[in-house]
Homo-oligomer: A and B are copies of this chain.
Amino acid sequence: MAKVAKKIKPAEDETETPGVGHNSGGIQGKRLRQIVEKVERLEQDKSDTAEDIKEVYTMAKGIGFDVKTIRQIVKIRKMDREKLRAEKELLEIYMFALDPELAEVLS
């Protein structure tokens, strides 16, 4: 179910009643617009970067590399990194189990 600001109390204080009330043009409406625009800018960045990645692959292909292979390499290296991270995390859990204070210090 959709709650937008479940149980909106009578709203004495503007700063505590955001959401989608009738004061959309007020201070909160401004805030909302800022948030929306911020998200949109970030999503634009994201797809720009995706474009850049595509370009790199296109270039690589242009000089004779096989794109599919490179994708595989990137994927495998990523898996390696994640595996490493997981192992590191496990190590920390062990350390914490053996000596919580020391683990806290080292982290």
Interface residues of A (CB under 8 A from B): 1-8, 15-21, 31-32, 35-36, 38-40, 42-43, 45-46, 49-50, 52-53, 56-57, 59-60, 63-66, 68-70, 72-80, 82-83, 86-87, 89-90, 92-94, 96-98, 100
Contacts and interface: CB of A to CB of B under 8 A. Distances in A.
Contacts of A59: 35
Contacts of A60: 35
A42 B35 contact: no
A105 to B, nearest CB: 13
A49 to B, nearest CB: 5
A97 B39 contact: no
Contacts of A69: 2-4, 19-20, 90, 93-94, 97
